[in-house]
Structure 1
């Protein structure tokens, strides 16, 4: 069987997960190749499965990316999931379905619309790797950031900055084929008052982490709700969790499109993913 890892041309050589994934597939007798998602010469129908990986250049070309996804015969995660997940307004649907999400205000244009907080994070609803994202302690600067994005035609989201990110960081939990594989810790990425970066952040403070039982249950619930909302099974999911002011897990993001798996920080993650992929092909 033949597998394609779909990547962005600019980022194809910056994804440390790919060599580990390919080796795990080779060990199972499967051929896995890297292919650039917007290369017109690729015959996507020739593959038994196409898996979206580091397509981080989709953000300014989301419509083109989704049209590509619609045209791929066998894609993981499915095109409908990518359409739902590449606009962060999916968080509103998860919140309404009972998943505890970091409180979010949408497309803020006035200080009166800001959620109660001492600091805020402003980002576009279509973004990757903290691009065009910034942390503000001045409410006027937070609103100005949101307005700049809105005036350029990009919807925004504004959230209170979660203080626990500065102390314990975020916990990312990976589920492959619905089974928890591993977790990692991500250190604080945003510095107060920094200008928004224009490109995805590739150098992150990452290390292994043993998630708590509450975090695992929270991640499993979030993925279950996402399956219910989208109507699709998920080959992979990354649940980014922070600790809220009440000490309970809250969802920062649910990554179902092109998340880094951070496989160099786990001895078993690549094998777990490969087993889930083989099970998907066999089913």
Structure 2
């Protein structure tokens, strides 16, 4: 008898070599729990576009940075749009899904983000710092990130620009931020627009050694303003922030494509709660 259960294509790269993390363990766990309710198959991001027609929805999870398979990802997005495929996360994200431009836009709008500019001409808009972070506007997973002393910043940016664009500091290619002496980093995890849990790294030098964080109402107001700004109805989002010297939270990143969830930092009850929320979210997506 044919199955009447929804069919999910789960896109992941089980071999992706994440630093300090094992993405594959998370996806093995999640798919083992989703199979209780859905007929599910895993595929590499390079194969997703060719397989869409056989499934009711696609779940994009730990598939690695898009830069590693740009052509395949563009083909997937194009094919999904053509056939109206339900995709989780939905492909309308305005944050990391579309690159790092949102950090420039939010910074210019005066939102609580780490101050960010995209050219030499705008360096005067940044607060003074001993060191600056320079990273590609289309970067991911810290690829290409550099820490540059203040007295070498202009030289470093000029050296990274094409000869014809040196005067502009390679506008459109890079982001520059002051290196913030933060107390810790904290991440807030949402399924659709519902808050699930928060984790933080007590030691700033050990970003992925995370423990549960008891988020305050003010913390959640901070995180939700970016979830609301992004406007995703269906998807998992992670709001990464740092606790600045003045005590305020500043946005570091809004990951809305395939955020790693650090489920291993939760207890069994926390993981069960997350799985239940994800199942419910996928049911909503399939009913949409």
| TM-score where L is the length of structure 1 | 0.80
Q: Does 1:123 align with 2:135?
A: yes
Change (3 A) 1:32 1:189: farther
Match of 2:230 in 1: 226
Match of 1:206 in 2: 210
Q: CA deviation at 1:142?
A: 3.7
Other structure's SS at 2:111 match: coil
Q: CA deviation at 1:222?
A: 0.8
Match of 1:177 in 2: 192
- Does the aligned pair in 1 maintain the 2:8–2:59 contact within 8 Å? yes
Q: Counterparts of 2:138 and 2:180 in 1: how far apart (Å)? A: 21
Q: CA deviation at 1:216?
A: 1.1
Other structure's SS at 1:238 match: strand
Q: Counterparts of 1:110 and 1:148 in 2: how far apart (Å)? A: 17
Q: Counterparts of 1:206 and 1:90 in 2: how far apart (Å)? A: 26
Match of 2:174 in 1: 156
Q: Does 1:85 align with 2:104?
A: no
| TM-score where L is the length of structure 2 | 0.78
- Does the aligned pair in 2 maintain the 1:66–1:83 contact within 8 Å? no
Q: Counterparts of 2:194 and 2:75 in 1: how far apart (Å)? A: 30
Q: Counterparts of 2:78 and 2:212 in 1: how far apart (Å)? A: 35
1:194-273 paired onto structure 2 within 5 Å: 204-227=208-231, 232-266=232-266, 267=270, 268-273=273-278
Give 5+ residue unaligned stretches, structure 1. 191-202
Rg bigger for which structure? 2
Q: CA deviation at 1:245?
A: 3.5
Q: CA deviation at 1:63?
A: 5.4
Alpha-carbon displacement from aligned partner over 1:198-222 (angstroms, at most 9, x marks no partner)? xxxxx83333222222111111111
Change (3 A) 1:155 1:54: same
Change (3 A) 1:35 1:208: same
- Does the aligned pair in 2 maintain the 1:35–1:42 contact within 8 Å? no
Aligned residues: 262
1:26-175 paired onto structure 2 within 5 Å: 26-27=35-36, 29-39=37-47, 42-59=50-67, 61-62=69-70, 64-72=72-80, 73-81=85-93, 85-95=97-107, 99-108=111-120, 115-136=127-148, 138-151=149-162, 155-164=173-182, 167=183, 169-175=184-190
Q: CA deviation at 1:117?
A: 1.4
Give 5+ residue unaligned stretches, structure 2. 1-5, 164-169
Please report the RMSD computed on the Cα atoms of aligned residues, expressed in angstroms. 3.0
Q: Does 1:276 align with 2:284?
A: no
